[in-house]
Chains A and B, each alone.
Chain A
Amino acid sequence: MSRTNKSRALAGPAALVALAAALFSVLVWAVPAPAQSKASTNVAAKAPAKVAAGTVANDAGGTIAVSTNPATITAGQFLYDEHCQACHGSGAVGARAPQLLDVGPAAVDFMLSTGRMPLNSITQQPLPGRPYFNKTEIAQIVAYINFVDRSHGTPGVGIPKVTPASLSEGNQLFLLNCSQCHDASGAGGMLSHGYVVPSLRQATKEQIAEAIRVGPRPMPGFGPGQLTDQQVSAIANYVYYLAHSGNRGGFGIANFGPVPEGFVAIIFGLGLLLLVARLIGNRG
């Protein structure tokens, strides 16, 4: 065997390994970065608990209490004036962005804890990201807006309390009401006019329940006449289970169904086999 042939014989398997490694890294890259999800989960999961600490419950059962402590409200107003007022107006009466006089704690907590607000540009669709405020700050702003809304006589929607519920009921309700846009796996999708349907796989149970009740546009809100508190809890529990029960059967390829599956089959499956055929085939 000549020198050239020997080096080619080595080059083949090396290329095979390199391609496999490259494909694997692409697959790994395709799933959302864990750092971000961890951050948003941590902040948001503890936010409602923080809100409840040392405060007076001021709403009916089924919602989490919001602080009415004047110090907290003042701190919230300070943050509001600094970060929100430019668009939502002084005293939340609305300016370039909508007024917040009747939105209630659920909407504020949802928008802030999922990192949707503050928004860079008011023409943007608010999409989940890394939260700008920490859990204490979020609780303060929630308290301030809650104070403003109550003073205005329109308290809005409280932060729903998620109770343990049947996964089976959640599964059925989710597939009947949510998966049309959010995908059966909760991976998200696309609407018309460029609106993105976000993935639910990073969301906490409380955020899911808030979104159902509030309806962050273009998503419709589901009031108590459409889904009871128990049903909202069931959906929230199921969606959280969906994303945190592990992918049975192996790596989930971003949980987007047949398209990434076909991609893997062609690039990883057939691609590797073509390389193998290339290695085997040209030998006499």
Chain B
Amino acid sequence: MSTVAERSTARKRALLEEKVLDEIDDRLGTSKWLRNAMDKIFPDHWSFMVGEIAMYSFVILIITGIYLALFYSPSGSVVVYHGPYAPLDGQKMTQAYESVINLSFSVRAGLVMRQAHHWAADIFLAAIAFHLCRVFFTGAFRKPRETNWIIGLTLLLVAMLEGFSGYSLPDDLLSGSGLRVVFSIIQSIPFVGVWVAFTLWGGAFPGTSVFFTRLFVIHEFLFPLILLGLLGAHLGILWHQKHTDFPGPGKTEHNIVGSRLWPQYAIKSGGLFMFIAAIVFGLGGFVQINPIWVYGPYSPARGSAGTQPDWYVGWLDGALRLWPHWEFRSFGHEIANPFFPGILLPGIVFTIMYAWPAIDRRLFADNEEHNLLDRPRDKPLRTAIGVGALFFFADLTVASATDLIGNALNISFELLIEILQYGSFVAPIVAGVVTYKVCNLLNAQNAHPIQRPVGGIIVRDARGAFHTLGAEHAHEAHDGDRHGNGGDSGHGGEEPGLEAAGLEAAGLEAAGLEAAGLEAAGGEPAGG
């Protein structure tokens, strides 16, 4: 209940808002578009916000990135360091490395910005990967959303390249070691590899002084602009096609149930952004990432154990480690070893992922438009393939940490490699088969994997007797044919009044479920 004074204030505020908005509308004509936009409905499910985590991480990456670019110097020319970090004093290094050291130690808020940038990048890629999984396992890529699947995959690919180019910019020992590996992988491409590598680096490794300028332009302009453009298209298409949603009460292929963009969804989304900023800068301030002063300036003669790429490139590093030492020669030409795990494997992986909407269409003979999502269990085969692929990537990623795992668990390096080599075949197959079985089991039991299965609804019939309507009972009441009881009447005489109670159950659902302290599995009312 509001007082008179409160109501009068609110009226005044509304009048002021109206005036300001009118002024804007007179000049830009935005109100018509805004009225539509503000009423746009977004479905309420937490998993639909993961893409936003990626988007907001990208926003933080741009903000922190601009700050870093103010102090980074993309130059390969050699300077002698004299600064506050004693162990590097008097050492020769590239200007690029020196500028990042100065950024870390001499620029106000430089280190926290650099660390936040790096953490945001790691979280950005993690959120993209999770978002990709959500879209895959729920079948959200199906017609009409194939285009956005392809754009999303391209975003992932460019984000990985963007991340790697950023990892390479400081010219520390890790950067240089990573570039050394990538240079060799590019070199291994048959026929053109050497030309491509020499063109990019401006000569033999470690390249000429033009290299860091190029890398900087790629990281600072080329890839971010591609990402921005693709993100715009991704969101534009999403806006046009409208959001998918899980099936549930009142949800059809042709409607969307959820919150309006303004004010509910905007507040939710804004809140999420605040949390992301808090966690990214919290990590940036409290947890060290990529201490380039420890790695030292890059020199081809140096090396470090535990040299790994950032996590999202780990599966490719792992593939290089697991690939057997086979050599292939044909027509007097050798196809260099790194080509297979470094170029062919990601090539095949991304081709399959790009082609997945088409493969899925054939697999399930389904060319219909879908706005309602599958639950993962609804398509056991797709889910099994997806989980198998995740285990494959996990196996390769673990392989990129073999030296650390060997150190921590005291397992022989060779044994570990061998286990993971077999694991890259066995783990996906086993995981896929188990997933397939679990999906079928869940379908058979109609149970939720995490939540407690519906125990039943207690209803009271006309004669005053109590009955428990479990999932099975509810099912029976509506699926009489299966039990040979015939027709819609469902039951024989052994449980009089149950059918009537079953119909009532739908109406009682809201009250009955709460009272019994139970939740309907998957949002589906037990009574139908």
Contact = CB atoms under 8 A, between A and B. Distances in A.
B86 A247 contact: no
Interface string A263-284: 1111011101110111111111
If over half of B's interface residues share one DSSP class (helix, strand or loop), that class is named, otherwise mixed; here it is helix
Interface stretch (B187-195, B282-290, B357-365, B485-493): B282-290
Interface string A240-273: 0110000111111101111101111110111011
If over half of A's interface residues share one DSSP class (helix, strand or loop), that class is named, otherwise mixed; here it is helix
Interface in B277-333: 279-280, 283, 285-291, 293-296, 299, 301-312, 314
B403 interface: yes
Contact of B287 (A182, A264, A273): A264
A187 B305 CA distance: 9
B410 interface: yes
A282 B45 contact: yes
A259 B47 contact: no
A277 B49 contact: yes
B44 interface: yes
B241 interface: no
A188 interface: yes
Contacts of A102: none
A183 B308 CA distance: 11
A194 B403 CA distance: 10
Interface residues of A, number: 63
B410 A259 contact: no
A194 B410 contact: yes
A281 B290 contact: no
Nearest to A272: B279
Given A250-B288, A259-B306, A282-B44, A273 B296 contact: no
A280 B271 contact: yes
B394 to A, nearest CB: 11
A269 B288 contact: no
Interface stretch (B119-127, B343-351, B368-376, B432-440): B119-127
A277 to B, nearest CB: 4
B174 A180 contact: no
A259 B401 contact: yes
Nearest to A184: B304
A211 to B, nearest CB: 16
Contact of A248 (B276, B288, B413): B288
A261 B289 contact: yes
A168 B402 contact: no
Interface string A138-161: 000000000000000000000000
Contact of B304 (A167, A179, A262): A179
B229 interface: no
B90 interface: yes
Nearest to B412: A194
How many chain B residues sit at the interface, stated as a range, is 35 or more
- For B90, B126, B275, B287, the residue with the greatest tally of chain A CB atoms inside 10 Å of its CB is B287
B407 A262 contact: no
B295 A184 contact: yes
Interface string A9-53: 000000000000000000000000000000000000000000000
B524 to A, nearest CB: 16
A176 B301 contact: yes
B127 A167 contact: no
Contact of A249 (B111, B307, B412): B111
Interface in B91-144: 91, 104-105, 111, 115, 118-119, 122-123, 126-127, 130
Contacts of B50: 274, 277
A185 B122 CA distance: 21
A273 B276 contact: yes
A33 B285 CA distance: 24
B291 A190 contact: no
A5 to B, nearest CB: 9
A197 interface: yes
A259 B279 CA distance: 19
Given A272-B279, A277-B46, A241 B303 contact: no
Contacts of B291: 185, 247-249, 252
Contacts of B410: 194, 196
A188 B296 contact: no
A257 B307 contact: yes
B272 interface: yes
Contact of A261 (B122, B173, B280): B122
Contacts of B111: 248-249
Given A248-B104, A269-B123, A270-B127, A242 B407 contact: no
Contact of B402 (A190, A270, A279): A190
Nearest to B313: A258
B249 interface: no
Nearest to A280: B268
Contacts of A189: 305-306, 403-404, 407
A175 B296 contact: yes
Contact of A184 (B123, B279, B294): B294
B259 interface: yes
A226 interface: no
Contact of B275 (A168, A191, A253, A276): A276
A121 interface: no
Contacts of A180: 302-305
B413 A194 contact: yes
A228 to B, nearest CB: 18
A120 interface: no
A175 B105 CA distance: 21
B517 interface: yes
Given A196-B410, A281-B44, A238 B514 contact: no
Contact of A251 (B280, B288, B293): B288
B413 A280 contact: no
B311 A261 contact: yes
Nearest to B416: A190
B503 interface: no
Given A192-B413, A270-B130, A256 B404 contact: yes
The 6 closest A-B pairs by CB, nearest first: A262-B311, A281-B46, A189-B305, A265-B122, A194-B412, A190-B406
23 contacts: A168-B88, A168-B89, A175-B302, A182-B305, A189-B404, A190-B402, A190-B407, A248-B288, A250-B285, A250-B288, A251-B288, A258-B308, A259-B308, A259-B311, A264-B287, A265-B123, A265-B311, A270-B127, A270-B130, A280-B46, A280-B271, A281-B45, A283-B259
Given A189-B403, A281-B44, A281-B46, 20 more contacts: A3-B514, A172-B91, A180-B305, A182-B305, A187-B306, A188-B305, A190-B403, A194-B412, A194-B415, A197-B305, A247-B288, A249-B287, A253-B288, A257-B174, A257-B308, A262-B310, A268-B279, A269-B279, A283-B268, A284-B264
